[in-house]
């Protein structure tokens, strides 16, 4: 049996704002944007054509709105692996991505933490 995680939900305040950040600043691909009943949309983005995608889900309740940017209790939520850390770090900085630290070298690779506009923490990482 072959299994993999295909999609993870990320609660956001607004579909278009999230698409703008992930597809604009980070260069993700918009895989799907389908209208659903009651003004909802099925919006999937990914850093490339294969691998896991993010389902951008607009918060509809107070509980969901309170979770925006803190879905993992302040820990890094996502790990964006790259084959060229310096290229992507420079591109993201030029696009206004908020890095929370300077790049550092760890035993497992080169890494820096950044935050999306909604408060979620990400690791940009190039494995050693």
49 pLDDT higher than 90: no
Please say whether the beta carbons of 51 and 5 come within 8 A.
no
Average pLDDT over the chain, rounded to whole? 96
Residue 2 in this model has a pLDDT that exceeds 90: no
7 pLDDT tier (thresholds 50, 70, 90): very high
pLDDT at 51 over 90: no
Helix (H) or strand (E) holding 18: helix 15-19
Q: With a threshold of 0.75, does the pTM exceed it?
A: yes
pLDDT score of 50? 82
The answer to whether residues 46 and 8 touch, using CB atoms and an 8 Å cutoff, is no
Which domains occur in the chain, in start order? 1-68 (3.10.180.10), 76-127 (3.10.180.10)
Overall average pLDDT of the 8-28 stretch: 97
């Amino acid at each position: 049996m072959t299994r993999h995680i295909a999609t993870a939900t990320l609660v956001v305040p607004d579909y278009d704002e999230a698409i703008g950040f992930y597809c604009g600043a980070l260069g993700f691909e918009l895989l799907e944007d389908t209208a659903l009943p009651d003004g909802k949309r099925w919006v999937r983005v990914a850093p490339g054509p294969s691998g896991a995608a993010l389902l951008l889900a607009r918060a509809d309740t107070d509980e969901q709105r309170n979770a925006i940017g803190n879905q993992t209790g302040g820990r890094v939520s996502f790990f964006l692996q790259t084959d060229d850390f310096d290229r992507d770090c420079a591109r993201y900085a030029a696009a206004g991505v908020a890095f929370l630290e300077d790049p550092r070298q760890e035993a497992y690779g080169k890494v820096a933490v950044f935050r999306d506009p909604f408060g979620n923490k990400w690791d940009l990482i190039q494995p050693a």
